[in-house]
Structure 1
Amino acid sequence: MIRSVAIGAGVTAATVALAHTALAGYVARRLVAPRAPKVFAPVGIEGDTVSVPATDDSRQPGTYGLRLDDGSHVMVGDIVRVDGDRVVRSILERPTGLSDGDAVAAWTSQNIGAPEDVGPTRHVAVPLRRGGSAEAWEIGDRESANGRWTIHVHGLRSSRNGALRSAPATADAGWMSLIVSYAGDEECAPADALPSSLGTREWRDVDDAIAYAVAQGAREIVLVAWSMGGTIAMLAVEQSAHRDAIIGLVFVAPALDWTRVVENAVAGAHLPRTVAVASMRVLGSRVGARALGLVEAVDARALTWVGEHRSGPDLPTLILHSRVDPVVPFSGSVAYVERHPDAELVAFDATGHCNEANQEPERFHDAIAGFLRSLPRG
């Protein structure tokens, strides 16, 4: 009897352990998975309004976009009304020739349709040390910028279009803007569409963009980084051959402590905290990395700049972050600013992740433009 109970307990413990490991693997896979295809749905356009499916995203206040299946972009504004499972929003800008009636579109936080909407644009290719090139947009006038460049780095499962939201402020401040793509984002060739390495591989492509800017005459560079782009920017500042040219940082909802990010995701899924620890262990192991399709293992626990072991750079830094960000905890930005006297935190109350520019556009714009104007000439 005692022996059978012991065997049963052992089997139960083994089952629990296997389930725990499976959950950890699932969380790790979700964390680094490539971006899912855009979800296109029927929308109804009528005059200066559009009816879209009611979702958590489409119910958010602010200014957003609809990407039609032909690639064109519709800028949408405030909610006019909610009709059951549909949300009717105002149309702020619509492409020429778009008629009233039914269409198919994907909802997006990218409320700027094209880089040309920001300023004079050149479509360029940044040479990469790993071979090939990465597409980028160069916005502004080099002569008037006089060697001052901003490099905009989007976050995980995003694209250059999302990072466009910071470009109007940098353009108005008189700086050049380089909006970049990098390994693993949606613009890569299929062979490169690998899981994210949380910045540990991607930073090299952004460093190549820094080298490109320097070759084009950039003497003073500010990295403008969104979400996981914050991790990429930190790694670039630490390791770039051109780090002396980087004179400042602008972060939007930055991932500066991946332990907090993973623990927040696990808590949001109502899973034990131990699953977060185990999922980071999976990412950091060679076996786990191989199972996830990663090029190399990722030590997520080391990707932190808020503790004692890895200090951030002594650079003027502006952080824009919502107190209620559901993805990247606001506490990480608070902790970073507490340790870095050169850092300033501008707190927002925007709902959703990286929606500061969508919901409080004037504050967002003025904070970035003011920060850039305040930087002394080298």
Structure 2
Amino acid sequence: MIRPVIVGAGVAVATVALAHAALGGYVARRLIAPRAPKTYVPVTIDGETVMVPATPDSRQPGTYGLWLDDGAHLTVGETVRVDGDRIVRSLERRPGGVDDGPAAGAWTSQSVGSPEHVGPTRHVVIPLRRGGTADAWLIGDEAAADGRWTIHVHGLRSSRHGALRSAPAAVDAGWMSLVVSYAGDDEAAPADALPSSLGTREWRDVDDAIGYAVEQGAREIVLVAWSMGATIAMLALEQSAHRDAIAGLVLVAPALDWTRVVENAVVGAHLPRTVAAASMRVLRSGLGARALGLVEAVDARALNWADGPRPGADLPTLIVHSRVDPVVPFSGSMAYAQRHPGTELVAFDATGHCNEANQEPERFHDSITGFLRGLPRA
């Protein structure tokens, strides 16, 4: 009598454990998966407005972008009116050759469609130690900048256009802006075959960009890093041969503790918090890494500069982060700022992840320009 009960309990426990491991693997796969292809939906352009489907993203206040299926970019402003399941928003920038009428567009937070809209631009390529090159935009007046450069690093499942939103502030402060790409992002080939390593491999490409900037005459460099880009920046600071050239950090909605990020995603999906730990076990195991297509295992728990063993940066630092960020918890930025007294934390109330620049553009811009202008000359 007792034996069948024990065997039955053992089977139940094993079944639960297997289900837990499967959920952990699913979460890990979703976490590192490359960005899905853009989804184009019917939109209607009419003079100085555009009508788009009503979605949680298109209902957000602020300024955003719309990529048309022919590659054109529209800058979309505030809501004009709501017509049932459609929203009419103002058009702030519309390139020549885009006619009125129906079109296919993909909504994006990338509100700046071209680096040329920011300032004088050179399209450059950065040699990579892993072979090949990475495309980048170099924006600004090099003579006026006099060796002061910012390097803008986008986040997970994004591209240079995502980080382009911080370039106007840097250029207006008199600094050059180098907006970079890296392994596995939207531009790297083959992007759809390279899952993210959460920065543990990507940082080398950004370090190569730092080396490029130094070779081109940069004497003071500020890393402007978005979301997972902050992880990349921190890893580069720890290991870069050009560490002495880094004069400061600007971190936008920064991922400074991946345990918080993964737990937040799991809780948001109404899964047990223990699934987060299971997913991180999958990532750091050799078998799990191979199953996920990773080149090497990733210890996400160790990527913690907020309150973990990593010391963080002894540099002037500005953090710009929304208190209600649904993806990267604001608590990580608070913990980092408390631990590093030289950090200035500017709190926003923007809805969505990395929407500070979209919803409060002037405050976002002024926070960065003020920080950069306040840095003493080396």
Residue in 2 that maps onto 1:80: 80
For the pair 1:170 / 2:156, whether they are aligned, the reply is no
1:156 paired with 2:156, answer yes
Distance 1:365 1:14 in 2: 54
Structure 1 residue 6: Cα displacement = 2.4
Give the structure 2 partner of residue 249 of structure 1: 249
Q: Would the aligned equivalents of 1:183 and 1:193 in 2 still touch at CA under 8 Å?
A: no
- In structure 2, what is the equivalent of residue 8 of structure 1? 8
Q: 1:191 to 1:262 in 2, by over 3 A?
A: closer
Distance between the aligned counterparts of 1:191 and 1:70, measured in 2? 20
The equivalent of 2:189 in structure 1 is 189
Contact 1:328/1:353, CA 8 A, preserved across alignment: yes
**1:46 Cα deviation from its structure 2 partner:** 1.3
Percent identity for Structure 1 against Structure 2: 79
RMSD: 1.0
Alignment partners' CA distance in 2, 1:308 and 1:272: 23
Aligned match of 2:131: 131
In the other structure, the counterpart of 1:199 is: 199
TM-superposition CA deviations, 1:163-192 (whole Å, max 9, x none) = 000000000000000000000001111278
3-state secondary structure, aligned to 1:271: coil
Amino acid at match of 2:358: N
The TM-score normalised by the length of structure 1 is 0.99
Structure 1 equivalent of residue 100 of structure 2: 100
Contact 1:137 1:180 in 2 (8 A): yes
Hey, what does 1:179 align to over in structure 2?
179
- Give, as a single letter, the amino acid of the residue that structure 2 aligns with 1:19: A
What one-letter code is carried by the residue in structure 2 that aligns with 1:143? A
State the 1:87 CA deviation.
1.3
Count of residues in Structure 1 that have an aligned counterpart in Structure 2: 378
Is this contact kept in 2: 1:184–1:192, CA < 8 A? yes
The residue that corresponds to 2:51 in the other structure is: 51
Deviation at 1:142?
0.9
| C-alpha contact 2:34 2:192 (8 A) present in aligned 1 | no
Instruction: List runs of 5+ in structure 2 lacking aligned partners.
Output: none
Letter in 1 for 2:47: G
Instruction: Give how far 1:8 is off.
Output: 2.0
**Cα deviation code 1:259-316 (max 9, x no counterpart):** 1000000000111111101111110010000000001100000000122511111100
The 8 Å contact of residues 112 and 164 in structure 1, kept in 2 or not, is answered as: yes
Equivalent in the alignment of 2:293: 293
- Paired position in structure 1 for 2:277: 277
Match of residue 317 from structure 1:
317
Corresponding residue number in structure 2 for 1:118: 118
1:169 and 1:197, CA in 2 relative to 1: closer, same or farther beyond 3 A? Answer: same
Task: Please give the per-residue CA displacement for 1:116-155, whole angstroms capped at 9, x wherever unaligned.
Answer: 0000000000000000000000001111100000000000
Whole-angstrom CA distance in 2 between matches of 1:192 and 1:186: 8
Q: Quick check: 1:185–1:193 contact (8 Å CA) kept in 2?
A: no
Map 1:62-77 to 2 at 5 A. Answer: 62-77=62-77
Q: Aligned equivalents of 1:282 and 1:233: distance in 2?
A: 25
Alignment partners' CA distance in 2, 1:191 and 1:146? 35
Give the drift of 1:7: 2.3
Which aligned pairs between 1:348-359 and structure 2 lie closer than 5 A?
Answer: 348-359=348-359
For residues 16 and 300 of structure 1, the distance between their equivalents in structure 2, rounded to whole angstroms, comes to: 24
How far apart in 1 are the matches of 2:283 and 2:191?
Answer: 21
Pairwise CA distance, 1:47: 1.7
Secondary structure in structure 2 of the residue aligned to 1:196: coil
Residue 37 of structure 1 corresponds to: 37
Instruction: Assess, with a 3 A threshold, how the Cα gap between structure 1 residues 322 and 60 changes in structure 2: closer, same or farther.
Output: same
**Which structure 1 residue ranges, 5 or more long, are not aligned?**
none
Q: Is the 1:183–1:192 Cα contact (8 Å) retained in structure 2? A: no
